[in-house]
Amino acid sequence: MKRVGMTLVEILVVAAILVLVLGPAWQIFRSGTKTSLQGMMQVETANEARRIMRQIHNDLKQSCFYLQPANQDVDFDLIMDQTKAAKTPPEYSFFTFPSVGAVADTVPSTGPTAPADRRASAITYRLEHGSLSGSPFYTLIREEHFQGALANSFPGGHISILSQRVNFFEIKPHRVFSSGRDQFFFWITLQLVDSYQAKGFVPTPLSKMSTRRQGVVIADFFDIVSPEFFSAIWNQPGMRRNWHTLLKTP
């Protein structure tokens, strides 16, 4: 009589062969999926960092301040509130010419014999910790408060969340000494972090940046910005202060 079916030993042998064959295949599939996911995460993190740096660059490029009397030197520290920058976590506050609205909203037409003061907006970049439940990262928030007609369009100002995965952020003033006129600029440092195991990630203090480690995606970005308003006055010390250098702020 012909036997039909398989013995237990044969089933175990087949199962062992399947494990030996499918085990490496599963590891390859898992490794490929993880690599692909990490690559997409790296691209997303880098794009987010670029958007943030572009926004900060534009704000600082158009930054301005109240001018001192003509017989006094212009101080670079006038641009940014250094007391807020010394806080933990730091805040960076300064005035800037708004990039939204019409030209008349920034430089209103007042006639040929009246001062045409320029209307600036107040910008603040600040960090908040623990904005996401269980997240070890900082949230970077940008606030802008307007003056004049724009204030009616944006009552209470405009607040936006730029990122919810910041590990390090700093805007630091620098001075380059030269034989002629010294040059000033802001050095921007931003570090965004993303991880497959965010809850297990231990962030470094805000005083230093994180190093790369397994399973963690880190994007480090740097930029240098020279404010045009300050540079124009600093590089031309004899320039007469005119109506267009007067400011109105929120």
**Residue 173 maps to a domain:** yes
CA distances from 21 to 7, 13, 25 (A): 21, 12, 7
31 within a domain of the structure (yes/no):
no
Q: Tell me: the pLDDT tens digits for 115-164?
A: 567 778 899 999 987 655 556 788 999 999 887 666 667 777 888 999 98
- Domain membership flag for residue 20: no
Q: How many CB atoms lie within 10 A of CB 144?
A: 20
pLDDT at 241: 59
Reply yes or no on whether the pLDDT at 71 is more than 60. Answer: no
pLDDT band at 35 (very low <50, low <70, confident <90, very high): low
- Burial classification of residue 186, based on how many CB atoms lie within 10 Å of its CB (0-12 exposed, 13-18 middle, 19 or more buried): buried
Percent of the chain with pLDDT over 70: 61
36 within a domain of the structure (yes/no): no
- pLDDT at res. 131: 52
> Is the pLDDT confidence value at 189 over 70?
yes
Decide if 1 is inside a domain. no
Residue 108 lies in a domain: yes
Query: What average pLDDT score do residues 169-186 get?
Result: 87
Per-residue confidence (pLDDT) for residue 32, from 0 to 100: 62
Buried b (16+ CB within 10 A) or exposed e, 115-140: eebbbbbbbbbbbeeeeeeebbbbbb
User: What is the structure's pLDDT at 91?
Assistant: 92
* Domain membership flag for residue 129: yes
Using the predicted structure, report yes or no on whether residue 23 has a pLDDT greater than 80. no
Whole-number average pLDDT of the chain = 76
User: What's the domain count of the chain?
Assistant: 1
Q: What percent of the chain has pLDDT over 90?
A: 21
Domain around 45: 41-248
pLDDT digits (tens, 9 = 90+) for 195-246: 655 555 555 555 555 555 555 667 889 999 999 888 888 877 666 655 456 6
Burial class (CB in 10 A: 0-12, 13-18, 19+), 114: exposed
Lowest mean pLDDT among 11-15, 93-97, 180-184, 246-250: 246-250
Q: What is the pLDDT of residue 51?
A: 93
- Tell which wins on pLDDT, 178 or 106: 178
How many Cβ atoms sit within 10 Å of the Cβ of residue 194? 19
101 falls in which pLDDT band (50, 70, 90)? low
The secondary structure of the chain as a DSSP string is: ----S--HHHHHHHHHHHHHHHHHHHHHHHHHHHHHHHHHHHHHHHHHHHHHHHHHHHHHHTEE-PPPPTTS---GGGSB-HHHHTSSS-EEEEEE--SSS-HHHHS----TTS---EE-EEEEEEEEES-STT--SEEEEEEEE--THHHHHSTT-EEEEEEEEEEEEEEEEEEE--SSS-EEEEEEEEEEEEETTGGG--PPPTTSPPPP-TTEEEEEEEEEE--HHHHHHHS-TTPPP-GGG-EE--
Note the pTM of the prediction, 2 decimals.
0.74
Is 28 part of a structural domain of the chain?
no
